[in-house]
Chains A and B, each alone.
Chain A
Amino acid sequence: MSAYLLIESRDPFEWSEVARTYELATQLRAAGHEVALFLVQNAVLPVRAGCRRAGLDRITGTGIDVLADDFSLRERGIAATALLNGIRPASIDFVIERMAAGWKTIWH
């Protein structure tokens, strides 16, 4: 089995294909791979607690590690303490650590 880091940079309100990233994460996980989804730039917009989920709530709790870039959160005035349950803030170092560990890394 492999380990995949999916980096999503787009928000699902403007880009319908973001749902495909969520589906890919789910399918890779179901196939037994280790999966992390790192949200950066406008992709952090749907992580606010109380926001219309746009499919993100179907990923949390499935064994996929979902993280939101802390810099992107601050840029957009989203408090790190007010995130959807199951999503945690992380620094950009997370991406570097996973790349250095050999995770297959895909940007959307």
Chain B
Amino acid sequence: MTTSQTLTFVLMDAPFESARTTTAFRLLHAALSRGYDVNVFAYEGAVALSFARQTGHANAVHGRDAAQEDHPLPKDWIAQLMNQARACGAKLNWVNCGLCVDERGVAEAVEGVRRGSPADCWKMAQESRSTLVIATK
């Protein structure tokens, strides 16, 4: 059964590597802002986007400590999207491919992100109005 209110996005890129990640987060934000329920299936390097142990760092060249540098971290963006979803009355269902998580050793994810499998990707697509796959190079 499909719903006109759910959109699915499939992500592959690892954090800090590509502008595709930035665009993907812009799309997620736009979809949630409009009240759509959003599924995200992250696989390959994208399973590291939600890794809870991401840590910022200082910038010695510019003379900033870690707090001043305020290094952006994708795990924080995901947490903020979760908050945004709640505020907009929408759902953000973020699933990491378990196979890819194991390969990369990034099992610790931020709250709200769950481990799944490729079967979840198929199920998400079946139950969505539309699915966008943002492939890596």
Contact = CB atoms under 8 A, between A and B. Distances in A.
A7 B19 CA distance: 14
A92 B4 contact: no
Nearest to B133: A107
Nearest to B8: A99
Given A41-B19, A100-B36, A92 B26 contact: yes
Interface string A1-45: 000000101000000000000000000000000000000111000
A88 to B, nearest CB: 18
A71 B26 contact: yes
Contacts of B134: 107
Interface string B1-43: 0001001000000000001100100110011001010000000
Main secondary structure of the interface of B (DSSP, over half): mixed
B130 A99 contact: yes
Given A9-B23, A96-B36, A102 B129 contact: yes
B26 A105 contact: no
Interface string A72-108: 0000000000000000000111011001101111010
B130 A100 contact: yes
Interface residues of B, number: 18
A103 B31 CA distance: 15
Contacts, number: 49
Nearest to A71: B26
B23 A96 contact: no
Nearest to B7: A99
A7 B20 CA distance: 12
B31 A96 contact: yes
Nearest to A108: B135
Nearest to B23: A40
B58 interface: no
Nearest to A98: B130
Given A71-B26, A96-B7, A105 B19 contact: no
A99 B20 contact: no
A95 B130 CA distance: 11
Contacts of A40: 23
Interface string B113-136: 000000000000000011111110
Across the A-B interface, give the 6 residue pairs with the lowest CB-CB distance, nearest first: A99-B130, A41-B19, A105-B132, A96-B30, A96-B31, A92-B26
Interface of B: 4, 7, 19-20, 23, 26-27, 30-31, 34, 36, 129-135
